[in-house]
Structure 1
Amino acid sequence: MRFLRKTAAGFLLTFGFLLLLVPAVVLPDREATQDDRDGAWGCLAMGIPVTAWGGWIVWGLYSDRRKARLKQVQDAFYRLVRQHHGRVTVLNFAMEAELPGEEAKAFLDARSREFGVTFDVMEDGGIVYQFPVIGLEEPPVMAAAEPAAVLAGGDRVDVVLLDFPPNQKIPLIKVLREMTGLSLAATKDMTDQVPSVIGSNVEQAVARQWQQRLSAVGATVQLRSR
């Protein structure tokens, strides 16, 4: 359908341009006959609506493309909010939505005014937007039960990375960055210093989601009660 609309727009604009070209050439010509002038006025009368019609189709195509792009960007934003439990950085969003850094920051700034956010500063000086996630969180995925001694206690736990296959270091770092929103250097340090705490005072439901994602890349994770 889009191809047909583009083809129709191209035909109408080309035909309209040719029609409008006739009066542009004939009317200024003092040697043109009256019949030529009448024909030129007819071409003008026909060329204007034909060109306008083609332009209207082009505008519709442009508008549809903008709406589709906006939806793509919004979907990327909400996906990151869900995946990272509200924590979004400009870099992560720019990569996910395929936006220039300035546009990504402008979008996040606008959403921060709309939803209200808190801000955290990472070790490298980057800003983390902490969006509210009430009503946005996906249902927790239950992982295998931990020993009672580990999870006994409150509703919050520390997530500890115990071990991982050496050939899975890069995928593991990628998952850690997606989950925590931390910098590459910070997540690399976590993998270089196992066992390491990758999340402190984390809700058990969220911690189990983290555990499942890390287990998918071969990592061994323990949830420790506080």
Structure 2
Amino acid sequence: METWQGLSESVAERLAAASSSERKVFAAGVAERLLSTHEALPEKEQAPFTLSLRPLLNSVWEGVLGDPTAFKAVNRRVAEYMLSEYCHNDGQDGPDDANEDAAATVLLAADTYLHGIAEFAVWASSRAVEIIHRREQSPTPEQVMAHIYDGVALPDLEAALVPDLLAELRRQLRDLDLIAGRAEDIRYSQLGLPVDLSIRLRVELRGPLSVRD
């Protein structure tokens, strides 16, 4: 039986086996879906820090699709974040803006682009899954009391989320398949790709990977 945990492991295994160029594109795609979803929220629900990361993600896209000059821009913007008040060890006493899901995933996509290691891409994948987990509701007081006094089993609240968890992880696996099909085209993207190839990859990769389900 297919489980979301098993699919999550499959995504992690695929990312570990993928080339660094494939990981970079994958992380950019996950970040794009989360950021564009945040940008579509009502204005009062949008986080200014998250919105401020759009130029960073655009630079990541430029880099993963073959513009080597983007590396400097991404590196500079990540350094600015590292020196800002949003990057801290103050726990709940400091601003939590960078822990907003879309913001955190954009930063992970930038780290994946700069370093190419699998862990950053896996963490980006996990952020998209964690968003779904946070939809889980707590048992109502009535359900808790019935459980304590009458032995009524608490409802399996996570079960209601399983279809969405499966859908997200299947989407990620499809995205990895799409990227793998362009692996040769992007293999040397960090060195720079011909302009016509970069333009084609924007259509064949950035477009489909950016579509929100």
Same fold (TM > 0.5): no
TM-score (norm: length of structure 1)? 0.22
Q: Which has the larger radius of gyration?
A: 1
Which structure exhibits the higher relative contact order, with contacts defined as CA atoms closer than 8 Å and separated by 6 or more residues? 2
